[in-house]
Structure 1
């Protein structure tokens, strides 16, 4: 059922209607921009947030997982809510609840409290990209749609760049809670704008509403929760050595398979999967998943490299990443003007994946004393990946869909995005922890009394502590503590480089797949 109607003012249009139609696409763009700002800020400042609640950064993987699971559940119920509230009230309510979730985040003092607050935000903001993009596609007449979509995409790029830039100032000046205060006030303001300017659409009479059964929704929730628990536990237990994880994985996959089978056959499903019959769409989903995995992992590793590996202050790291990301705005304008002249979009997204491989390889080769000038180029190029991969694929993946099938297919794509983000974060954290232990073991093996290089390093350091007034034994202990700190720092740095190497290999594989496939040209 198509519950969207294009906005077409009549001849008696008033000035009020005129300014509303002007602000309508801006309100939609700001709504999804807030989603990208929130996610980018949480990922970039995860170390500061973890320190604020007294937990190591890897403990916040529960918050990311809770957000992802709740997002998928929210996406599944998106149409259900729209039919009862309408698009305007649904988006406005989601923004208000997002503000409430941000307030809960500022009041969190433990990983569990933060995970619960992020789950609320995930449920209401996870569907936001799909809700807004579907409204742009089906709620605008074709003559106005192109301009609205451009505002939409530029806002995504702008807010993604502002998250580290503005967040760096906020965290340095006021602490990590300031990030969530910022999203809280922004959510309230954008909600008011949406309720004022977005036209009423989408709501249907009670007797025409679809009534999908509840049990598949519960099954999907349990399946996703089971698989997320498995991802968490891989930090501590190898999969092959834990029958419990194997059984939980099997149970999750069976429940997920049952959900997909039910949705495929049911006349009124939560999610229509018929779009998967299109080979072009299936290929597009694979390319999307690869892009979202690589892009999210790259952003996380860049943040960790700058703040932990290279010891950049949080404000400086935010400035560097934010300012280099702003270059994508100019590139987007060029893309909008000239991309239509390129008939074969494959020659954009294949080089896009190779660009990701080049960025990752560049960062993987950085020495520990690298200067900022050597970071500018890869960080600037990172902002172009959306233009090289996601937009060309989007232009082709949905071309064959009817008005009724487009919303469901876009929701599928949004689910793929959330799952890829969660899997990416979990994978990189697991790899980072394993490589950290490996490098610490290798480096610690060289810390022995018989190592002449260690004795040469410890002698002046011990003498420094003796001159500061410590006894010889205390000075020796302090000197060894400095060595252990140095080993941990070096192991962290080398672990980040290993993560970039993994992304470089994955990006090359993605480029080869993109070159090999024949469905999207």
Structure 2
């Protein structure tokens, strides 16, 4: 007589924690990337919605980054008390609360607080999910889980401009935040059902809170972020307040690093920094996150403000090209293992970034969508060319315990680099736009025959449409002002891409120079 094993029900706990476990980790991480991508791409629309300039909105980006870093530092403390299942589910629910708060904001200050609240809970999720993959799966099972993880990262980043463009076309900026709230609630439920109840420890085995070191680190981050924001308004060398804040922030950061290095049970173990390969990997991560964030912001500004594309068209162009580029992941996963020297992928990756940015600088003000497709496709390949081989080299040297601390440290660097990239590229773009607008305005004067002819032609056109002479003249002036502003935005975006070429070349030279990566 043969015995048959009982069939596992489709929606049983065992089934959910087997088949759906890696996909729950993937969608939680995907929400993190979706949130970052949608905020970066539609910064100018969010700023307009709360009547703030893009540089004022930098405070929201900084608050998000600082809170995310603080959340990453406390991640292990929460996990030891609640376990991974309740920690991830709780973070998703509270992130959704923050999304609702961001939807209801009326000022840049309110949005900064709401984004900070969101950042504390969503910021640690990528590291948490990647650590769970490393801990929970055997080496044979891990590639499939990692593949799901990468697919959702690429898919979410690609869908963000596509979905965001549709939302803005049919609703307003608040929909960008509102759409993530139900997703957070759904993923919290999935986390409760599918994630294992691991990570929590007995009270006597738990780590200490590190209350004062935590506060000192928070002060250091806040001080340095304030300096980074204010340096565009004040001359650093002539501002004692900024100098004092910088010294205090660096000193506090140095003390925190010293304390954590020597503590037997630190918030984050820094000993991974002793490894040369890890040091190089962290720097390459910084270059990638800077280039990727800056490219996303500049592309959005270039399409919408420089070329005058409707937001729906801009989002569709970037989203569709990103989806096409994302399909190259499967080619990478199949054939990258055949290339033993990862440097041969990383260095060309930075060359691709520089080439795509250089291609964007050759665009004319009346360029069509077809001419933008190739640089947009190249932009979407950067994660495959840079991040995946860098990750393979950076973390393969670590056992699970060091992997956990090393990956958390890498995610701290990610959040800070994204914040710095957003702030610095906005500063560069705003400075260049003001310069170009001032230069273009010099040509708008009664002594310039080109201006006089344009004004006369526009006035005649509005008069022919039935406007009174005075109204036609006013509308012509407004149209010329709008054209000047659009041309200034177009030129400032090109300057931003030139700046990006320099960053990408520096990253490529650094990667080529390193002997620690092969």
Interval of TM-score (by shorter of Structure 1 and Structure 2) = over 0.9
* Contact in 2 for aligned 1:161/1:326 (Cα 8 Å): yes
- Provide the secondary structure at the position in 1 that maps to 2:479: helix
- Provide the secondary structure at the position in 1 that maps to 2:56: helix
Match in the other structure for 2:315: 318
Tell me the distance in 1 between the aligned counterparts of 2:74 and 2:454: 62
Tell me the alpha carbon deviations over residues 153-182 of structure 1, each in whole angstroms, 9 at most, x when there is no partner: 001101111111122112211222222221
Tell me the alpha carbon deviations over residues 365-420 of structure 1, each in whole angstroms, 9 at most, x when there is no partner: 21111110010011111111000000000001112212211111101100110011
Tell me the distance in 1 between the aligned counterparts of 2:509 and 2:70: 33
User: TM-score, normalized by length of structure 1?
Assistant: 0.95
Residue-pair matches, total: 511
1:239 aligns with 2:250: no
Tell me the distance in 1 between the aligned counterparts of 2:424 and 2:45: 21
Shift in alpha-carbon separation, 1:499–1:331, aligned structure 2, 3 A:
same
Tell me the alpha carbon deviations over residues 312-353 of structure 1, each in whole angstroms, 9 at most, x when there is no partner: 111111111110001133200011111111000000010000
Match in the other structure for 2:428: 431
Tell me the distance in 2 between the aligned counterparts of 1:507 and 1:441: 29
* Contact in 1 for aligned 2:307/2:486 (Cα 8 Å): no
Q: Decide which of 213, 219, 227 is 1:230's aligned counterpart.
A: 227
* Contact in 2 for aligned 1:212/1:269 (Cα 8 Å): no
Q: Decide which of 52, 61, 64 is 2:61's aligned counterpart.
A: 64
Structure 2 alignment gaps of length 5 or more? none
Tell me the distance in 1 between the aligned counterparts of 2:475 and 2:133: 62
Q: Decide which of 366, 370, 381 is 1:384's aligned counterpart.
A: 381
Tell me the alpha carbon deviations over residues 32-81 of structure 1, each in whole angstroms, 9 at most, x when there is no partner: 00111111111112222222222222221111010000000000000000
1:126 aligns with 2:132: no
* Contact in 1 for aligned 2:326/2:381 (Cα 8 Å): no
1:135 aligns with 2:155: no
Stretch of structure 1 that moved more, 51-60 or 94-103: 51-60
Match in the other structure for 1:89: 86
Shift in alpha-carbon separation, 1:354–1:338, aligned structure 2, 3 A:
same
- Provide the secondary structure at the position in 1 that maps to 2:140: helix
Tell me the distance in 2 between the aligned counterparts of 1:482 and 1:248: 45
Match in the other structure for 2:199: 202
Tell me the distance in 2 between the aligned counterparts of 1:230 and 1:272: 27
Match in the other structure for 2:439: 442
Match in the other structure for 1:511: 508
Structure 1 alignment gaps of length 5 or more? 1-10
Tell me the distance in 1 between the aligned counterparts of 2:334 and 2:458: 61
Shift in alpha-carbon separation, 1:111–1:14, aligned structure 2, 3 A:
same
1:31 aligns with 2:5: no
User: What is the CA-CA distance between 1:477 and the residue it aligns to?
Assistant: 4.4
Tell me the distance in 2 between the aligned counterparts of 1:466 and 1:170: 37
Tell me the alpha carbon deviations over residues 89-125 of structure 1, each in whole angstroms, 9 at most, x when there is no partner: 1011000011111111111111111111111110001
Tell me the distance in 1 between the aligned counterparts of 2:7 and 2:297: 48
Q: Decide which of 392, 396, 401 is 2:398's aligned counterpart.
A: 401
Tell me the alpha carbon deviations over residues 427-454 of structure 1, each in whole angstroms, 9 at most, x when there is no partner: 0000011101111121122222222222
Shift in alpha-carbon separation, 1:98–1:13, aligned structure 2, 3 A:
farther
Tell me the distance in 2 between the aligned counterparts of 1:213 and 1:18: 39
Tell me the alpha carbon deviations over residues 448-495 of structure 1, each in whole angstroms, 9 at most, x when there is no partner: 222222222222223334556666565544433332222121111100
1:291 aligns with 2:293: no
Stretch of structure 1 that moved more, 320-329 or 276-285: 320-329
CA RMSD of aligned residues (A): 1.6
Runs of 4+ in structure 1 deviating by more than 6 angstroms, as ranges, are none
Match in the other structure for 2:452: 455
Q: Decide which of 492, 497, 505 is 1:495's aligned counterpart.
A: 492
1:477-488 matches, within 5 Å, as: 477-488=474-485
- Provide the secondary structure at the position in 2 that maps to 1:77: helix
Match in the other structure for 1:5: none
* Contact in 2 for aligned 1:212/1:268 (Cα 8 Å): no
User: What is the CA-CA distance between 1:20 and the residue it aligns to?
Assistant: 2.5
* Contact in 2 for aligned 1:235/1:433 (Cα 8 Å): no
Shift in alpha-carbon separation, 1:168–1:477, aligned structure 2, 3 A:
closer
Match in the other structure for 1:264: 261
- Provide the secondary structure at the position in 2 that maps to 1:68: helix
1:333 aligns with 2:330: yes
- Provide the secondary structure at the position in 2 that maps to 1:142: coil
* Contact in 1 for aligned 2:346/2:390 (Cα 8 Å): yes
Stretch of structure 1 that moved more, 510-519 or 42-51: 42-51
Match in the other structure for 1:282: 279
Tell me the distance in 2 between the aligned counterparts of 1:499 and 1:330: 28
